[in-house]
């Protein structure tokens, strides 16, 4: 007859055990763990060594009670779930966010909020589950965003729809100037029958990129009426391009307000027998992986989407730490990337 003895799990390291190994008080260890500046560098080294030796993991719940912070942030995306996971722009922004948050103790909660933006999502955010929110891809009708700003620190990816709110914190590019740069490329290579597929008309980025398109054509003396609205999806870009070709079959240049929409536009041009760039030169926007995934590499306006995500998270963390003089508006650079399509 054999018997088995369940081995007891070794006790988890505690704050007291770290204090004993480091030769300091429990309160001193707590100050080090919570990032206090009221501890000498020598003590920080000793406590850090003890933490590493014991493989001590700070108790997040206890730290939250002490600091009155949850150490969690929310990424709020007022969009359809399929669009969020299908657009490489979002992936780049999230990569930047997490790269910055990996340097902190904060975690990130994802809330794709299009299905219930004014009730469940807002209730969750206002109930103390997170310390702050990062909001990307917001629309004019997203009224819950304004309510959220009164509850917690918020940083926007892109100029917020309520642009009159001078207190808003956001990271963006100069979308109008960037679109003007992309459209000017079509003018410079001799195209004179130029149209555009815009982004969503209820989003600041969509509105500003249309403004930039119009500026470039007005300066060149070219009509600005060849406009069809898309929705920042490949399907929307394809549908808008079909409408545009029906109105302007002589089109020889096309500025598309996102690379993803441009992939839809290229597919329609191909099915209509229009060569790119021979018959129609095409310029996109983003310089996302979509720009090089199709049969014709896209000339496009590059925006630093990953760095924008990093900056958003950095600004929110600085606000939560109580830092003063955090900039309200951070405008990142853009540039034109020349490829085969134009």
| Structural domains counted in the chain | 3
Residues 243, 183 within the same domain:
yes
CA distance 138 to 121: 14
338 in any annotated domain: no
Residues 188, 168 within the same domain:
no
CA distance 336 to 6: 66
Q: Which of 303, 215, 202 is nearest to 259 (CA)?
A: 303
**Is 70 exceeded by the pLDDT of residue 340?**
yes
Q: Which of 130-144, 165-179, 239-253 has the highest mean pLDDT?
A: 239-253
pLDDT digits (tens, 9 = 90+) for 260-275: 999 999 999 999 999 9
CA distance 333 to 331: 7
CA distance 197 to 244: 8
**Is 90 exceeded by the pLDDT of residue 141?**
no
The conformation of residue 285, written as its DSSP 8-state character, comes to: E
Domain end residue (candidates: 6, 39, 67):
67
Beta bridge partners of 299: 283
Domain end residue (candidates: 34, 67, 100):
67
Domain end residue (candidates: 67, 97, 128):
67
337 in any annotated domain: no
207 or 80, greater pLDDT = 207
pTM score over 0.75:
yes
Of the candidate ranges 100-104, 262-266, 307-311, the one whose mean pLDDT is the lowest? 100-104
Residues 34, 50 within the same domain:
yes
The pair of three-digit structure tokens given for residue 150, joined into one six-digit string: 């009164």
CB 132 within 8 A of CB 73: yes
Angle CA 205–207–209, to nearest 5 = 65
CB 215 within 8 A of CB 243: no
**Is 50 exceeded by the pLDDT of residue 44?**
yes
271 in any annotated domain: yes
Residues 89, 208 within the same domain:
no
Residues 62, 137 within the same domain:
no
pLDDT digits (tens, 9 = 90+) for 196-225: 999 988 889 999 999 999 999 999 999 999
CB 178 within 8 A of CB 334: yes
4 in any annotated domain: no
pLDDT at position 2: 44
Confidence of residue 58 (pLDDT cuts 50, 70, 90): low
- Mean pLDDT, rounded, for 108-124: 71
> CA separation (Å) from 287 to 34, 188, 209?
40, 20, 15
293 in any annotated domain: yes
pLDDT at position 258: 95
Q: What is the CATH number of the domain that holds 135?
A: 3.40.50.2300
Residues 224, 135 within the same domain:
no
Beta bridge partners of 157: 136, 171
186 in any annotated domain: yes
The half-sphere exposure of 164 on its side-chain side, counting CA atoms within 13 A, is: 2
- Mean pLDDT, rounded, for 234-261: 96
pLDDT at position 5: 43
Residues 234, 155 within the same domain:
no
300 in any annotated domain: yes
- Mean pLDDT, rounded, for 61-76: 66
Residues 168, 314 within the same domain:
yes
Residues 222, 279 within the same domain:
yes
pLDDT digits (tens, 9 = 90+) for 18-32: 889 999 988 888 777
pLDDT at position 296: 95
Residues 21, 92 within the same domain:
no
CB 234 within 8 A of CB 264: yes
How many residues are present in the chain? 342
Range of the domain at 296: 175-304
**If 0-12 CB within 10 Å is exposed, 13-18 middle and 19+ buried, where does residue 170 land?**
buried
263 in any annotated domain: yes
pLDDT at position 16: 85
H/E element holding 101? helix 88-101
Beta bridge partners of 335: 302
Residues 189, 288 within the same domain:
yes
pLDDT digits (tens, 9 = 90+) for 163-197: 566 688 999 999 999 999 999 999 999 999 999 99
Distance of CA 129 to the CA centre of its chain: 21
**Is 90 exceeded by the pLDDT of residue 301?**
yes
Distance of CA 220 to the CA centre of its chain: 34
The half-sphere exposure of 122 on its side-chain side, counting CA atoms within 13 A, is: 16
Question: How many other CB atoms are found less than 10 A from the CB of residue 61?
Answer: 10
Q: Which of 45, 58, 44, 54 is nearest to 20 (CA)?
A: 54
- Mean pLDDT, rounded, for 151-163: 83
Q: What is the CATH number of the domain that holds 44?
A: 1.10.260.40
Residues 200, 247 within the same domain:
yes
């Amino acid at each position: 007859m054999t018997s088995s003895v369940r081995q007891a799990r070794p006790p988890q390291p505690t704050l007291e055990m770290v204090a004993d190994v480091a030769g300091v008080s429990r309160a001193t260890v707590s100050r080090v763990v919570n990032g206090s500046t009221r501890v000498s560098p020598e003590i920080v080294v000793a406590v850090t060594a003890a933490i590493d030796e014991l493989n001590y993991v700070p108790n997040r719940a206890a730290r939250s009670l002490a600091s009155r912070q949850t150490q969690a942030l929310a990424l709020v995306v007022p969009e359809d779930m399929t669009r969020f996971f299908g657009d490489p722009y979002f992936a780049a922004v999230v990569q930047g966010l997490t790269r910055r948050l990996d340097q902190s103790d904060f975690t990130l909660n994802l809330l794709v909020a299009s299905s219930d933006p004014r009730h469940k999502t807002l209730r969750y955010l206002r109930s103390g589950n997170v310390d702050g929110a990062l909001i990307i891809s917001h629309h004019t009708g997203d009224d819950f965003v304004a309510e959220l700003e009164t509850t917690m620190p918020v940083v926007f990816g892109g100029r917020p729809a309520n642009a009159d709110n001078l207190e808003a914190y956001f990271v963006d590019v100069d979308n109008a100037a960037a679109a003007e740069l992309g459209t000017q490329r079509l003018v410079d290579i001799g195209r004179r029958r130029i149209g555009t597929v815009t982004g969503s008309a209820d989003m600041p980025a969509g509105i500003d990129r249309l403004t930039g398109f119009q500026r470039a054509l007005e300066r060149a003396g070219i009509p600005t009426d060849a406009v069809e609205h898309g929705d920042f999806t490949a399907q929307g870009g394809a549908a808008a391009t079909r409408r545009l070709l029906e109105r302007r079959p002589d089109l020889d240049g096309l500025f598309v307000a996102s690379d993803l929409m441009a992939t839809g536009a290229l597919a329609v041009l191909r099915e209509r027998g229009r060569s790119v760039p021979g018959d129609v030169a095409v310029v996109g926007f983003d310089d996302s992986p979509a720009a090089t995934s199709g049969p014709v590499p896209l000339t496009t306006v590059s925006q630093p989407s990953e760095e924008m995500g990093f900056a958003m998270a950095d600004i929110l963390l600085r606000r939560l730490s109580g830092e003063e003089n955090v900039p309200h508006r951070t405008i990142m650079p853009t540039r034109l990337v020349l490829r085969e399509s134009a």
